[in-house]
Structure 1
Amino acid sequence: MQSQFRLKENRDFRRVFRRGKSFATARLVLYYCDNRHDGVRVGFSISKKVGNAVVRNRLKRVLRAVFQTWLPELKDKSIDIVVVCRTDAADADFQILYQDVSKLLHKSKIVI
């Protein structure tokens, strides 16, 4: 996923957590709110409780790949999305995380 579609700054994460709406599955929690920028920005929050650095970085890579597949449908929306991983996400592969993200995007009506 290109840098322009990533949420990076702490203040942006805090704004999404404070003002956003949330939806959850067993492995992921999705927060989202409108932004002032053009296009979608996605950030990931993965606690040390999920696993060591290798596990957390693998999850971020897989989730970036998942959102890369959704990017054509999300590109024209101006929202910030933060995905929080729960401990069960450490054992999940690409397909399972793709299904969870798909459920969350449809549940939140970001994608119809």
Structure 2
Amino acid sequence: MKKTYVIKQNHEFRRLYHRGKSVANRYLVLYCLKNRLGHNRLGLTVSAKYGCAVERNRAKRLFREAYRLHEAEFKPGFDFVLVARARMQGASCADVEKALLKAARDLHVVQDVKEGMNG
């Protein structure tokens, strides 16, 4: 099983917010920035305004699962930060997956799976 590398340091989050490109949609905001590593890293943010701890943890679980299911489709060498928006409360896993993939396509960080297999 592939390990997902995480972003935990505050300065790394701030670097992504200031220098990274972002796309927002109904459920989330996706920030991305190239890193000099050979792998992707993921950071998750859910504000205290979002709701109680149970709701915030559910949002983070949905983010992690959506990313895990499509991790192979992301181009390597990027840092990603996912920020939950208020409308995400009550969203299904499929909704979050679609929103994540749409945002990633808008930032051109998703590679076609068929390309990766042929090349």
User: Above 0.5 in TM-score?
Assistant: yes
Give the residue type in structure 1 aligned to 2:90. Answer: D
Matched position secondary structure for 2:65: helix
Task: Report the residue type matching 1:21 in the other structure.
Answer: K
Q: Give the fraction of aligned pairs with identical amino acids, expressed as a percent.
A: 34
Q: Which structure would you say has the larger Rg?
A: 2
Task: Tell me the SS of whatever aligns to 2:48.
Answer: coil
Whole-angstrom CA distance in 2 between matches of 1:35 and 1:92: 31
Quick check: 1:50–1:89 contact (8 Å CA) kept in 2? no
Question: Which AA in structure 2 matches 1:59?
Answer: A
Q: Which runs of 5+ in 2 are unaligned?
A: 112-119
Q: Hey, what does 2:33 align to over in structure 1? A: 33
Q: What is the CA RMSD across the aligned residues, in angstroms? A: 1.6
Equivalent AA in structure 1 for residue 40 of structure 2:
V
Q: TM-score, normalised by structure 1?
A: 0.91
Alignment of 1:3-82 (within 5 A): 4-74=4-74, 77-82=76-81
Q: Is the 8 A contact 1:21 1:31 kept in 2?
A: yes
The superposition leaves residues 57-84 of structure 1 with CA deviations (integer Å, 9 ceiling, x where unpaired) of: 011111101100111122x511100011
Stretches of structure 1 lacking an aligned partner (at least 5 in a row):
none
Counterpart position of 2:114: none
Letter in 1 for 2:17: F
Q: Deviations over 1:43-101 (max 9, x none)?
A: 11110111110000011111101100111122x51110001111111121101101100
Matched pairs, number: 111
